[in-house]
């Protein structure tokens, strides 16, 4: 996972001005967490909190939050903590595979990041959530990359124009490939002003069935999934379900301690 620090620091620089404030996506995540876990104040751990905007939205809703971030995006997250107070929002810069945290959390959230590294890396993280961080009866909410949609994007390239008035100051290119053997999205970006300096993230994708297999022995079990904010029946015949076939490049896995 040597690429992680450089990739997310560089893309963080590209988008920080436009995307580090609390927005509708962050408030939507708060609504989903409260719908699934309850509206009362919850002790929340956010892994890979990035600029800290979702952590800040959770703190604004009354939940004491700890956010963990590896890259220098944490500098933006610290601004939110200073604004809200560290009793409401605490930002810890470090590697969540190694970092030590005090106490347990009613909810552990990992938005838009699960799948970095190998299956063994994912299991190691899931084990930490179950054995070290999640309180008894707690809930983990994990965004999982959907292989069906990423596979459909194989070979696509897109030019993202600069919009300085909105804080997007770089004209960027994105190219997506999909490895069907390892079920991995290969997502490459570059600034058109520096076409030779390309950065790539590799995202392991899991179908819900594959995720269920990955969870075996981790101390967590799949309790539900949401696609586009809507619940998908795990025990139903979902043949032709457009949300997972074509519409949403990730789905939210609701994880509970295994019985």
Decide: 70 and 113 in contact? Cβ < 8 Å.
no
The answer on 131 and 23 residing in a single domain is yes
The answer on 197 and 98 residing in a single domain is no
The answer on 137 and 103 residing in a single domain is yes
- Residue 2 in this model has a pLDDT that exceeds 90: no
- Residue 20 in this model has a pLDDT that exceeds 80: yes
The answer on 252 and 172 residing in a single domain is no
The answer on 185 and 79 residing in a single domain is no
The answer on 237 and 194 residing in a single domain is no
pLDDT tens figures, 159-214: 999 999 999 999 999 999 999 999 999 999 999 999 999 999 999 999 999 999 99
The answer on 43 and 32 residing in a single domain is yes
Q: What is the pLDDT of residue 254?
A: 98
Q: What is the pLDDT of residue 259?
A: 83
The answer on 122 and 45 residing in a single domain is yes
The answer on 49 and 135 residing in a single domain is yes
The answer on 75 and 180 residing in a single domain is no
Domain span at residue 114 reads: 4-145+205-257
Tell me the β-bridge partners of 93.
69
**pLDDT band (50, 70, 90) for residue 134:** very high
pTM confidence score: 0.97
- Residue 244 in this model has a pLDDT that exceeds 90: yes
Average pLDDT along the chain: 97
Decide: 183 and 213 in contact? Cβ < 8 Å.
no
Q: CA 225 to CA 143: how far, in whole Å?
A: 9
Q: What is the pLDDT of residue 1?
A: 73
Domains identified in the chain, total number: 2
Ramachandran area for residue 130 (φ above 0: left; ψ -120 to 50: alpha; else beta) = alpha
The answer on 212 and 99 residing in a single domain is yes
The answer on 64 and 112 residing in a single domain is yes
């Amino acid at each position: 996972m040597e690429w992680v620090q450089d990739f997310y620091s560089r893309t963080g620089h590209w988008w920080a001005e436009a995307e580090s404030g609390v927005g509708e996506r962050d408030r939507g995540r708060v609504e989903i967490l409260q719908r699934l876990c309850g509206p009362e104040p919850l002790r929340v751990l956010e892994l890979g909190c990035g600029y800290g905007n979702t952590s800040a939205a959770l703190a604004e809703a009354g939940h004491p939050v700890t956010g963990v971030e590896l890259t220098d995006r944490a500098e933006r997250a610290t601004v939110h903590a200073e604004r809200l107070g560290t009793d409401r929002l605490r930002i810890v810069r470090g590697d969540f595979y190694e970092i030590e945290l005090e106490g347990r959390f009613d909810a552990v959230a990992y938005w838009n990041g699960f799948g970095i590294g190998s299956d063994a890396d994912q299991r190691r993280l899931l084990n930490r959530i179950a054995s070290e961080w999640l309180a008894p009866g707690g809930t983990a909410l994990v965004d999982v990359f959907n292989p069906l949609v990423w596979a459909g994007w194989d070979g696509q390239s897109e030019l993202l124009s600069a919009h300085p008035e909105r804080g997007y100051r770089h004209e960027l290119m994105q190219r997506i490939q999909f490895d069907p053997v390892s079920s991995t999205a290969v997502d490459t970006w570059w600034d058109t002003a520096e076409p030779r300096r390309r950065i790539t993230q590799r995202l392991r994708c899991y179908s819900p069935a594959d995720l269920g297999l990955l969870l075996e022995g981790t101390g967590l079990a799949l309790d539900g999934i949401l696609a586009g904010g809507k619940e998908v029946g795990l025990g139903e015949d979902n043949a032709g379900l457009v949300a997972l076939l074509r519409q949403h490049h990730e789905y939210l896995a609701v994880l509970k301690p295994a019985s």
